[in-house]
Amino acid sequence: MSSRSIRIIGGPNREEAHVNDANELFVTQGPNVIDPRTGFVTTIGESHRMIHDGYLFDATGILPVLAAGAVFDVLMQFPVGVVGHLTNVEYQFENTPVTIEFFEDVTWSAAGTAALVVNKNRLVAPTPPGAIITEGPTITDTGDLIHQRFIPSGGTKTGILVPGEELEWVLGNGKDYIWRVTNNTNGDIKLGYHFNGYELP
């Protein structure tokens, strides 16, 4: 009898399950595959799985002062062969209004300062990301504008531009990008950012 194989994530181990020609599912019980409290097969979402596999990265930063009318850029470099899946982009602002723009195929003369980028699985040897993320690059050409958002004055001071993996950006393979914030207020503001994304080997 022929069968096809599917993967079920069960903690640190992957267990094999088989669906036969009669569409019957057979699961070999292994460590943490069956929840002892409910008796059901343990399943997790795609982003959660990427964390367990050591493929999901977290990038964060805080800029203490962005002057009125000034811009703050975060550069994302993807060498040839590196493809990134950007699943979360969030900014927090001390004051608004601000404009946020996303550019593709940018050119630059200086990359700036390395951002804080960590692997979200802290129990395995951290795998460095293929993408390079830096703050405050010197941009010579912004390339193509592919996304923009205006955060008005008053109300929320948070801009969530990519809210999850179902709306992720697939980026890279030899392209460089910037996320650019423009301070449209009449004074200095403080801002923070938080990016999540994963890369597959």
Tens of pLDDT along 174-188?
999 999 999 999 999
Tokens of 101: 């723009």
* Spatial distance between the Cα atoms of 160 and 165, rounded to a whole number of angstroms: 13
* Residue pair 100/91 in contact by the 8 Å Cβ criterion: yes
User: Which residues are CB-neighbours of 48 under 8 A, at least 6 positions away?
Assistant: none
User: 85 CB contacts (<8 Å, ≥6 apart)?
Assistant: 165, 168, 169, 170, 171, 197, 198, 199, 200
pLDDT at 74: 98
Cβ atoms 97, 154 nearer than 8 A: no
What is the residue-averaged pLDDT of the chain? 82
* 152/98 Cα distance (integer angstroms): 7
Considering only CA atoms, which of 143, 141, 146, 147 is closest in space to residue 105? 143
In order of 37, 96, 137, the CA distances from 188 in angstroms are: 53, 10, 20
Q: What percent of the chain has pLDDT over 70?
A: 72
H or E segment and range at residue 51: helix 46-53
pLDDT score of 5 more than 70: no
Question: pTM for this structure?
Answer: 0.76
pLDDT band at 14 (very low <50, low <70, confident <90, very high): very low
The residue to which tokens 């996320």 are assigned = 179
Domain boundaries, the chain: 3-43, 57-199
Average pLDDT over residues 136-145: 98
How many Å apart are CA 137 and CA 125, to the nearest integer? 30
CA distances from 163 to 32, 81, 87, 120, 182 (A): 30, 26, 7, 18, 21
Give the tens place of pLDDT for each residue, 92-114.
998 999 999 999 999 999 999 99
The tokens of 132 are what? 């390079």
In this predicted structure, the answer to whether residue 11 has a pLDDT above a threshold of 80 is: no
**CATH 2.40.50 for the 57-199 domain, yes or no:** no
The pLDDT confidence band at residue 190, using thresholds 50, 70 and 90, is: very high
